[in-house]
Structure 1
């Protein structure tokens, strides 16, 4: 059962904070076995620590066993509390080091698929400058879909994210970075070259992406019967280049692929072009550390293409 006792949670001690860090690592890794390497502990030791924390807090944190790992409702709340506690301690450490002109700790940044290929993206230059100024900060970089990046920010697994997710979430701060223009592409060697109206009769499949309303709207507009699903721009491009598929790609990305795979915009599809605004995002209720503030400033100060 979830609840082991109805007694209030006792005052948090230094030993409890260590157990909370271990619990956070297990939860973020998705299980005890997956957490062995990052924690440098054996599964049996991790299990004992989790049991000690559950006894201390008076409630079950997670289900673990042959059926897999799953947080309880209390465990999900405890995870957010553990992250907040770790953040608070890191903030104290950051501020004390900042008083000595030293930046330390970890900065976790999530990046949307294929940002590197956009010549207007300033990430590479910002990262290079960041490493010069703050060599003691551990950078943690990951790639994710827009919804995954927002979730990572909301769940405090990421400090910053670069995403094309539309602005408007009141829980997030947005700093505009660059735009991408998307067009509808097809393999250039398809003969005869089909226009927008001929796609359905030619048996082409429209490549959709997760939660992509534009492709769903286009499929309804053209009455396309065949649909394919892709995860990430490279998957879309691979299908399109192989022939028989049509899909949206950023113009700069399609141009980059042209020397290897000839792609062309579908004739008559100009009305379906669209532009996505990419932004640097972070949580409103989670103040950025000095290293996070530095990265935001560096990214804002660099010219496009740097």
Structure 2
């Protein structure tokens, strides 16, 4: 494959390649870009021709980046991010904050009484109306991937352990316990009976600890807090849930904490990549976020 130097005309094709790679395929990229699969394929072909390597495999087996494609994606994202920083950085010299602010958070965080993300965003809008925030709700693992792939600048999620590649700023503490439903379908269940019920299972450090250390038996596979709560609501399973989330369901399902439940406190943090300089707008929002939670 003949190699040619990239020019400014290739920026559009690079953006399309990055969008397809981050979406893990053409179908999702079609929706995100409002572009046909044929057009997406043509842009990727152009980038491959310029670089002289195959960047991805696409076909009946699905979309998969090659080794070269993985490197190209990382460098292209860094380059595109640098371009996007030019105007906001110039605006900052004039004392004006502008540009995109990409945030990610885990599910149901807003139900915690100590969560003040909306207040920080409202204050940012007041002092910097030209900043364009976007907020995505993701799973724990997806948030980690989004940070590493630079699809978000700040992730707000629980921190089971701290990783060297990231900086963690504690905001508040979320406590998880094992819940059960004492009464359902005409059956009154004592907590001793509930202790023998299977534990709704999802891949999670607290769930693994409850099974390995506290003697619970493994129940059905579930995905996400909503699925755990649904299993508990049947009355046939117990489940690990954050206290603040279970409290929202209490009036309808009368969830109760097992008296001998293990307790898992978890700090909720704003997390940023250590090696990635934050934009001025991201720095400002992070400061507002920390101030809102300190107060």
Q: TM-score by structure 1 length?
A: 0.88
**1:109-128 alignment to 2 at 5 Å?**
109-128=103-122
SS of 1:245 mapped into structure 2: coil
**1:158-173 alignment to 2 at 5 Å?**
158-173=152-167
Question: Given the alignment, which residue of 277, 281, 287 partners 1:287?
Answer: 277
Q: TM-score by structure 2 length?
A: 0.91
Cα separation, 1, equivalents of 2:162 and 2:105: 19
- 2:208 is aligned to 216
**1:1-306 alignment to 2 at 5 Å?**
4=1, 10=5, 12-189=6-183, 191-195=188-192, 199-200=195-196, 204-210=197-203, 212-221=204-213, 223-269=215-261, 272-303=262-293
Residue 224 of structure 1: how far off its partner (Å): 4.2
Residue 194 of structure 1: how far off its partner (Å): 2.5
Cα separation, 1, equivalents of 2:165 and 2:212: 33
Residue 16 of structure 1: how far off its partner (Å): 2.5
1:98-131 Cα deviation digits (max 9, x unpaired): 2233333222111012100001011111121222
Detail structure 1 runs of 4+ shifted over 6 Å in the superposition: none
SS of 1:260 mapped into structure 2: helix
Cα separation, 1, equivalents of 2:84 and 2:64: 27
SS of 2:252 mapped into structure 1: coil
1:24-55 Cα deviation digits (max 9, x unpaired): 11212222343234334332222222111111
SS of 2:174 mapped into structure 1: strand
Contact kept? 1:167, 1:174, Cα under 8 Å: no
Gaps of 5+ in 1: none
Cα separation, 2, equivalents of 1:35 and 1:215: 35
Does the C-alpha gap of structure 1 residues 214 and 47 become closer, same or farther in structure 2, counting only changes over 3 Å? closer
1:158-198 Cα deviation digits (max 9, x unpaired): 11101112342111011110001112110021524122x86
Cα separation, 2, equivalents of 1:257 and 1:40: 39
SS of 1:169 mapped into structure 2: coil
Does the C-alpha gap of structure 1 residues 222 and 22 become closer, same or farther in structure 2, counting only changes over 3 Å? closer
Number of residue equivalences: 292
Gaps of 5+ in 2: none
1:140-174 Cα deviation digits (max 9, x unpaired): 21122222212211111111101112342111011
